[in-house]
């Protein structure tokens, strides 16, 4: 008697699990919409709200499919590997560090989106019409304001200051070999101190007990004292936009980006050469450079829109203004020397 009950329970459970399996399966999903699809290949940080996506789909008549692939470096390399058989129609997120590689390998087809005329000249747009800059993420040194207040120490202002003994043991930076902002910082030092000087600068940083961790997450979220992790280092490498996320309940910013330490990384988007839906791709490009999309970028992706006249959200205006004169480096030069600089950096830091 007891056994038959057990058997019934088991049978019920088995049926339930089978139903669950059947209901859970991804089989047969994704093909429900009859609308033609346009595929956006992008990095993991790309965010689009439901509302915006629906708006694009309604206006264009295309279903928007998004494929996310790692960070800008991974994205670029995968675009290069698949250039003979592209996995999407539009690529978003190749940045200035990797732009040359993508362009040299002919990843992008030529297209000048409608909004392109409203991109300021400082984003280097002109000679090439594809890909098109879509946003800028400036990598800057951030500081914990309260720490400097409490320790009565003058905060550093520029990169050279970080090598001074009074800032010893205060700086945390992610590894250029394994992290995107880390690489931007390395390029920044090369750009600032020149081919001759950057290694010296790094030696000084090392002597000054700079803490190098493999990712931005560890540097910012664990080592930095100004973030929620409550680490021990009041200076960290992050983005110009980061302070916008670190506003206390009293409305006062807890951190600040040092605007004279910034390196500009521009993110590009473009129609992929060989796209299966080039028409849809062009419409999506227009959308990405439209006012309605650009306006939402800061809050969703923590980047600065490129379109002229798009204002930053109110909450950003005081705490996370655009750096006025960031360092930059020509993509061709980055492409040529990037691997060698990383190699030199690794042997310099014994990593």
In 3D, which of 135, 50, 41 has the Cα closest to residue 79? 41
CA dist., res. 318 & res. 205, Å (int): 30
CA dist., res. 172 & res. 246, Å (int): 17
In 3D, which of 38, 269, 311 has the Cα closest to residue 134? 269
Residues 104-163 that bind other proteins (CB under 8 A): none
Bridge partners for 258 per DSSP: 141
Largest CA distance in the chain: 87
* Residue 124 or 215 with smaller CB distance to other proteins: 215
The only residue of 188, 191, 213, 277 in contact with other proteins, by rule CB under 8 A: 213
In 3D, which of 265, 331, 267, 271 has the Cα closest to residue 113? 271
Radius of gyration of the chain (CA): 24
Under rule CB under 8 A, residue 238 binds other proteins = yes
The only residue of 160, 168, 177, 348 in contact with other proteins, by rule CB under 8 A: 177
Under rule CB under 8 A, residue 36 binds other proteins = no
Under rule CB under 8 A, residue 9 binds other proteins = yes
Closest contact distance (angstroms) between CB of 125 and other proteins is 25
Residues 6+ apart with CB under 8 A from 254: 144, 145, 146, 226, 243, 246, 247, 248
The only residue of 78, 204, 260, 337 in contact with other proteins, by rule CB under 8 A: 78
Bridge partners for 256 per DSSP: 143
Closest contact distance (angstroms) between CB of 149 and other proteins is 16
In 3D, which of 288, 270, 268 has the Cα closest to residue 137? 268
Residues 305-334 that bind other proteins (CB under 8 A): none
Closest contact distance (angstroms) between CB of 116 and other proteins is 26
Contact by Cβ (8 Å): 179, 167: no
* Residue 156 or 176 with smaller CB distance to other proteins: 176
CA dist., res. 75 & res. 40, Å (int): 12
* Residue 125 or 233 with smaller CB distance to other proteins: 233
Under rule CB under 8 A, residue 47 binds other proteins = yes
Q: State residue 168 phi and psi, 5-degree precision.
A: -65, 135
Closest contact distance (angstroms) between CB of 72 and other proteins is 10
The only residue of 186, 245, 271, 303 in contact with other proteins, by rule CB under 8 A: 245
The only residue of 214, 260, 273, 295 in contact with other proteins, by rule CB under 8 A: 214
Closest contact distance (angstroms) between CB of 297 and other proteins is 12
In 3D, which of 115, 37, 101, 142 has the Cα closest to residue 331? 101
Single out the segment in contact with other proteins by CB under 8 A; choices: 47-55, 184-192, 308-316, 324-332: 47-55
Unique residue bearing structure tokens 């890909």: 131
Size of the chain, expressed as the number of residues it contains: 351
Compute how many residues bind other proteins; rule: CB under 8 A.
76
Under rule CB under 8 A, residue 342 binds other proteins = yes
Residues 50-69 that bind other proteins (CB under 8 A): 50, 65-69
Under rule CB under 8 A, residue 33 binds other proteins = no
* Residue 72 or 116 with smaller CB distance to other proteins: 72
Under rule CB under 8 A, residue 4 binds other proteins = no
Under rule CB under 8 A, residue 19 binds other proteins = no
């Amino acid at each position: 008697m007891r056994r038959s009950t057990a058997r019934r329970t088991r049978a019920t459970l088995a049926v339930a699990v089978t139903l669950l399996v059947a209901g859970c399966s991804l089989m047969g999903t994704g093909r429900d919409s009859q609308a033609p699809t346009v595929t956006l290949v992008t990095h993991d940080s790309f965010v689009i709200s439901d509302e915006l996506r629906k708006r694009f789909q309604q206006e264009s008549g295309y279903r928007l499919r998004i494929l996310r692939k790692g960070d800008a470096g991974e994205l670029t390399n995968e675009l290069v590997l698949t250039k003979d058989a592209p996995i999407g129609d539009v690529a978003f997120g190749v940045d200035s560090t990797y732009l040359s590689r993508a362009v040299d390998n002919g990843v992008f087809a030529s297209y000048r989106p409608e909004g392109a005329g409203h991109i300021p000249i400082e984003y280097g747009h002109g000679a090439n019409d594809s890909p098109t800059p879509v946003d800028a993420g400036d990598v800057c040194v951030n500081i914990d304001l309260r720490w400097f207040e409490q320790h009565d120490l003058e905060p550093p202002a520029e990169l050279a200051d970080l090598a001074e003994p009074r800032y010893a043991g205060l700086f945390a930076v992610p590894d250029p070999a394994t992290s995107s902002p880390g690489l931007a910082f390395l390029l920044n030092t090369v750009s600032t101190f020149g081919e001759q000087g950057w290694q010296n600068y790094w030696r000084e940083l090392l002597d000054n007990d700079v803490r190098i961790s493999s990712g931005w997450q560890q540097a910012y979220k664990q080592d930095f004292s100004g973030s929620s992790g409550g680490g021990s280092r009041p200076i960290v490498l992050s983005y110009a936009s980061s302070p916008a996320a670190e506003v206390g309940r009293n409305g006062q910013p807890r951190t600040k980006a040092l605007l004279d330490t910034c390196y500009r990384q521009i993110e590009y988007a473009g129609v992929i050469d060989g796209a299966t839906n080039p028409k849809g791709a062009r419409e999506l490009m227009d959308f990405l450079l439209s006012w309605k999309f650009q306006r939402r970028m800061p809050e969703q992706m923590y980047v600065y829109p490129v379109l002229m006249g798009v204002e930053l959200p109110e909450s950003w205006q005081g705490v996370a203004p655009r750096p006025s004169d960031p360092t930059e480096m020509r993509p061709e030069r980055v492409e040529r020397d990037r691997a060698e600089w990383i190699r030199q950096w690794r042997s310099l830091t014994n990593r």
